[in-house]
Amino acid sequence: AQTVTQSQPEMSVQEAETVTLSCTYDTSESDYYLFWYKQPPSRQMILVIRQEAYKQQNATENRFSVNFQKAAKSFSLKISDSQLGDAAMYFCAWPSGGSNYKLTFGKGTLLTVNP
């Protein structure tokens, strides 16, 4: 089975500190994208960052960066200089279904940012 695992149901971080959310996945695909989405209390799903699997360089978007270990099938999200607005549920996801671009989502990690 192709699954995505987020082993940390909840995490907390102090404002301005750094936190890393983990994600492992299982796939037999050779070329794919991996995604992190955040879902704040408004429940709007927002794309945080995406990583192309055949690129060795880790993706970075401002304070958000990825540590992608393809051989280990690990895809962690690092948030630097955490802000109160980063508090949300974070889901990792990857395309799971052939040519119709279905996404499989992890169970999510609830991030709390303490002032």
Partner 1 sequence: GAVVSQHPSRVICKSGTSVKIECRSLDFQATTMFWYRQFPKQSLMLMATSNEGSKATYEQGVEKDKFLINHASLTLSTLTVTSAHPEDSSFYICSATGQDSTDTQYFGPGTRLTVL
* Least separation in angstroms between CB 105 and partner 1: 5
Nearest distance in Å: CB 51, partner 1? 10
Comparing CB distances to partner 1, the nearer of 57 and 115 is 57
State which of residues 48, 68, 79, 106 lies at the interface with partner 1 (CB under 8 A).
Answer: 106
Interface with partner 1 (CB under 8 A), residue from 20, 32, 80, 112: 32
Give the chain as a 3 state SS string. CCCEECCCCEEEEECCCCEEECCEECCCCCCCEEEEEEECCCCCCEEEEEEECCCCCCCEECCEEEEEECCCCEEEEEECCCCHHHCEEEEEEEECCCCCCCEEECCCEEEEEEC
84: contact with partner 1 by CB under 8 A: no
Interface with partner 1, residue 46, by CB under 8 A? yes
Least spacing, CB of residue 18 vs partner 1, in Å: 25
